[in-house]
Amino acid sequence: MHFGPHLLLAALEGLVTSAVLALTALGLSLVFGVMRVVNVAHGEFFMLGAVLAWAISTAISGHPAVGFLAALVIAPLIVGAIALVAERLVLRRLDYNPEATIVATIGMLYIIQQLALTFYGPEARPVEPPFSYRILLPWFGYSGYKLSIIAASALLLIATWLVLTRTRIGLIMRATQYDSETAQAFGIPVGRVYGGVFALGAMLAAIAAVLIVPISQAHYLMGQDPLLLSFIVVIIGGLGSLRGTVVAAVLIGLSDGIISMFFSPTLAKIIATLLVAMVLVFRPQGLFGTASR
């Protein structure tokens, strides 16, 4: 294969990564933006989504698409419910203190990971894709399912954007993000908004995981990389900015796909992490964000 097609393949793979990453990072970004909570357990919600997708799709017999669609609906709902309970039981009692919540979400990370290991086991298990149509390009065939991930993610991102900007719920969320005390004074149930946002953030991660699991397998440690990459995306995009998050996800996903195709993935990770740390040190508002208040 020549360089051009090779690059195209790398770019396509990168776009698939970007699509999943944008959804995951959007969840992290919403939680940070509205609640000012850095959720270290976000990657574990991602992992839970994938593991539940495996459990649901194996429990339902028949055409793989039926099991997959069931997983796409049920897994995020379960993950959202778990997140809501965790928020009510732990984060609310900590009064959303930024440092205490980080320690508490680290605790959640360990608990979820260990429970997944105990009940799901250390194996990596595949989920069958809902359809296996291959699109034939002049140089290579490409999985139609992977392209549909990109489409699904784009739809979800647009939907989230519409909800945030065009609906009453979105208005309430933005009001809480802008100034929670004034929002409270205007009768917005800030506590419930926080609970809802935390659950929504976890659900976005779970949806991303259900979408990716047919091509990457479910494993109890699979939450680590998405967590790190989401952090990177959210920081580069500017904390709490939806547009920045999407742009950064495409940027990171593409460069990750291309760099790891031509260089060692470890080296790619080292460079990306170091660059992002430097961004955070020298330009804390992110590359696309505006200076924080």
3-state SS of 209-255 is HHHHHHHHCECCCCCHHHHHHHHHHHHHHCCCCHHHHHHHHHHHHHH
Min CB(256)–another protein separation in Å: 14
Interface residues toward another protein, by CB under 8 A = 38, 90, 93-94, 98-100, 102-104, 106-111, 113-115, 117-118, 228, 231, 235, 264, 266-267, 269-270, 273-274, 276-278, 280-282, 284
**Residue number with CB closer to another protein (38 or 261):** 38
Smaller CB separation from another protein, 114 or 290: 114
Residue 32 or 68 with smaller CB distance to another protein: 32
Which residue number, 58 or 264, has a Cβ lying nearer to another protein?
264
Nearer residue to another protein within complex by CB, 26 or 235: 235
Q: How far apart are CA 227 and CA 240, in angstroms?
A: 16
Q: Spell out a b/e string for 239-276, using b for 16 or more CB atoms within 10 Å of the CB, else e.
A: bbbbebbbbbbbbbbbbbbbbbbeeeeeebbeebeeeb
Residues 6+ apart with CB under 8 A from 4: none
* Cβ at position 198, least distance to another protein in Å: 15
- Shortest distance, position 289 Cβ to another protein, whole Å: 13
CB of 162 to another protein, least distance (A): 29
Q: State the nearest-atom distance from the C-beta of 217 to another protein, in Å.
A: 20
SS3 141: strand
